[in-house]
Amino acid sequence: MNNPNNILISVEERHASNMLAGSKSVELRRKPLNISFGTRVWVYSKLPRGQVQALAVVDEVVADAPEKLWNSYGPQSAITKAEFDAYFVGAEIGHAIVFQEVRPLAPILNLSSIREKISHFHPPQFFKKLTEDSPELAFFQTAIASK
C-alpha cells in the first residue's frame, strides 16, 4: 500500500479541543480540498495555543450545498447553526471533511519547537500539503515516533 497523503490544517483552539473531545468529527471548509480517503490531517491549533496537537484520518470529503451539509453533518461540526450560516454566507457549495479517527499527538508539537527545527515554518491559512520530503512531515513523524 502507498504511504498516505498528509496535510496540515489550522483551526481555532476550540475546534481542536472539540476534535480531541470527540464532539467534532467534521471540519467544514468553503474551498475545495483535493484530498481523499486515508489522508492524514495534522491539526494545528491556532494561537494562543499554537501547537500541532492532533492527527486525524479522512474518511471522506463531501461537497454539497451548505444546507445539505448542515442537515447531514451539523451536529458533528460542533458549531451552532448561526455560526454555520455566517461561515457559508454567499457560498453555493461547501465542503465537509469527515474524519474516521482523531487522536491526540504525544508529544504535542509547540510552534516554538517546530520553529527551532524549521525556521521558516508558518502555519497555513487554509491547508498545506505535506510531501514525503517536506521538513514539516519529517519533523512531525520523528517527534511522535520518538515519544
Query: Count of domains in the chain?
Result: 1
**Does the N-terminal peptide bond of residue 4 adopt cis geometry, omega within 30 degrees of 0?**
no
- The answer to whether position 23 is within a domain reads yes
- The answer to whether position 22 is within a domain reads yes
Q: What is the pLDDT of residue 88?
A: 98
Local confidence band at 147 (pLDDT 50, 70, 90 cut-offs) = low
Q: What angle do CA 135, 141, 147 make, to 5 degrees?
A: 130
**78, 18 Cβ separation under 8 angstroms:** yes
- The answer to whether position 1 is within a domain reads no
- The answer to whether position 147 is within a domain reads no
CATH number of the domain where residue 34 is located: 2.30.130.30
**121, 114 Cβ separation under 8 angstroms:** yes
- The answer to whether position 133 is within a domain reads yes
- The answer to whether position 27 is within a domain reads yes
Picking from 73, 44, 76, 38, the residue whose alpha carbon sits closest to that of residue 57 is: 38
User: Average pLDDT over the chain, rounded to whole?
Assistant: 95
pLDDT tens by residue, 35-51? 999 999 999 999 999 99
Local confidence band at 132 (pLDDT 50, 70, 90 cut-offs) = very high
User: Is residue 70 pLDDT above 60, yes or no?
Assistant: yes
- The answer to whether position 126 is within a domain reads yes
Residue 25: domain span: 6-141
Residues 60-75 have a mean pLDDT of 98
Q: What is the pLDDT of residue 3?
A: 66
Local confidence band at 146 (pLDDT 50, 70, 90 cut-offs) = confident
CA 141 to chain centre: 16
Stretch (H or E) spanning 121: none
Residue 35 is placed in which grid cell? 484530498
Q: What is the pLDDT of residue 126?
A: 86
What residues have CB less than 8 Å from 32, skipping those under 6 apart?
A: 63, 93, 95
- The answer to whether position 128 is within a domain reads yes
**119, 139 Cβ separation under 8 angstroms:** no
